Structure 1
Amino acid sequence: MTAPSRLSPLLEQFDFARERLVHRMTGPVMDSGDGTDTNVDPMTDEEYLWEPAPRCWSVRRRVNGPGPHATLLAGTGDWGRDAAPYPHPWPPPITTIAWRLSHLSEMLTLRADHTAGAHALTRDDFPVVGDATGAVTAFDAGAAAWRTALLSVDEAALDTVGYCTYPHGSDPDEPFIDIVWWVNQELLHHGAEIALLRDLYRARQH
């Protein structure tokens, strides 16, 4: 199926941001921003879970319970992601790479299901990963599922309010083209945050 013309630039932006983030986390080189390659080491488990400030939110072993100001561990499996019902703590807690990457992966996976799947997945169904390699794999799987879902839509779907029924956002109330834009924005800004945390982690070792 050929992507609608309005969707094509958003797909290109998504693909670029996804590839750049994966390379930024795994190496051996990344796009420096000017088209040249810069060497980068793969992210370690220690870095993935590094808390750059007190009272960070992160992913944690479920047996240890939630972190500071969190009231629950979202997801399923031996690990969970710090969370709290609305209203969230203020000021918002600083979050680790692990938290941000898990958030992105869950969002992409669930939005894909609520666009072109069973419209059934919830946050309680999403496995939270406690190691860097597994987390990158989960992110790539979620991104691939979302992209496949996008390729299933036509022009009419882009204008349909509530085409994506993802329950944790404005998806049921917005035209689908706006949701596609929003997902790109989420990937771009959280990807930049992850890149900055990698820089800060590296700088503390020198």
Structure 2
Amino acid sequence: MTPPTATPPRLALLLAQFDFARERLTARLSGPVMDSGDGAATAVDGPLTDGEWLWEPVPGCWSVRRRTDGPGPRATALAGCGPWGRDAAAYPHPWPPPFTTLAWRLSHLAEMLALRADHTAGSRSLTRDRHPVAGGAADAVAAFEAGAAAWRDALLGVDEAALDTVGYCTYPHGSDAEEPFADIVWWVNQELLHHGAEIALLRDLYRDTAARS
């Protein structure tokens, strides 16, 4: 039996950061409490609802929509497969960028994680057109959790040589073909961190807007 690959120290640091950000966002979406960053348990306003998931804080948002309704403002396509899709447009993207809903951001994270996992340690063939877009808050949270788990599993077989290999991940929608894999792992972490912060802020705004109205 081949012994398990020891996690390289620099990957272990990135994995610890990923785990903290992932667990924090999952708790922020589902409750009942989350780690506010200081180890204290902070109450969450319940699991994400469908109304909150699709809430558009400003006019002209990009979101997740029923495919039969077509793309939203300034979008030219609905990414993904299934009865729902995520607003998208070919390059050059609209400027200024459309504001994106919580549904859009969560779908983007779920897709990115699932596809990068596949292009690192899977079939290396999964495409956006074959990735289903969730059609409700609970399914969207589950899709994010599945994508995050798949990405983490893909990292467990990575060694020092792989971290330095340019194009180790063949994900076709980023700079993966031009970057050492260690840089891609770092990039995924910052995507999770910054979109997770945006999602948390949208939950706060939705709560306070609903309270005022």
Deviation string, structure 1 residues 16-52 (Cα, Å, up to 9, x no partner): 0000000000000011222211111111000001011
Match for 1:94 among 99, 109, 119? 99
Q: Which residue is equivalent to 2:49?
A: 44
| In 2: Cα distance, 1:190 partner to 1:123 partner | 19
Q: What are the within-5 Å matches in structure 2 for residues 85-124 of structure 1? A: 85-124=90-129
Match for 1:5 among 4, 9, 14? 9
| In 1: Cα distance, 2:178 partner to 2:147 partner | 23
| In 2: Cα distance, 1:67 partner to 1:200 partner | 22
Q: Which residue is equivalent to 1:151?
A: 156
| In 2: Cα distance, 1:175 partner to 1:34 partner | 33
Q: Which residue is equivalent to 1:29?
A: 33
Q: Which residue is equivalent to 2:143?
A: 138
SS at match of 1:205: helix
Instruction: State whether structure 2 residue 174 is matched by structure 1 residue 173.
Output: no
Task: Please tell me the residue identity of whatever aligns with 1:29.
Answer: V
Number of equivalenced pairs: 206
| In 2: Cα distance, 1:83 partner to 1:37 partner | 37
Instruction: State whether structure 2 residue 61 is matched by structure 1 residue 59.
Output: no
| In 2: Cα distance, 1:81 partner to 1:125 partner | 13
| In 1: Cα distance, 2:171 partner to 2:210 partner | 41
SS at match of 2:110: helix
| In 1: Cα distance, 2:122 partner to 2:201 partner | 34
Q: Which residue is equivalent to 2:207?
A: 202
**TM-score, normalised with respect to structure 1:** 0.99
Task: Please tell me the residue identity of whatever aligns with 2:133.
Answer: V
Please, what is the CA RMSD of the aligned residues? 0.6
Spell out structure 1 runs of 4+ moving beyond 6 A. none
| In 2: Cα distance, 1:205 partner to 1:112 partner | 37
Task: Please tell me the residue identity of whatever aligns with 2:201.
Answer: L
Match for 1:127 among 111, 118, 132? 132
Match for 2:20 among 11, 16, 20? 16
Give the deviation of 1:75 after TM superposition.
0.1
Unaligned runs of 5+ residues in structure 2 are none
Aligned residues with identical type, % of pairs: 75
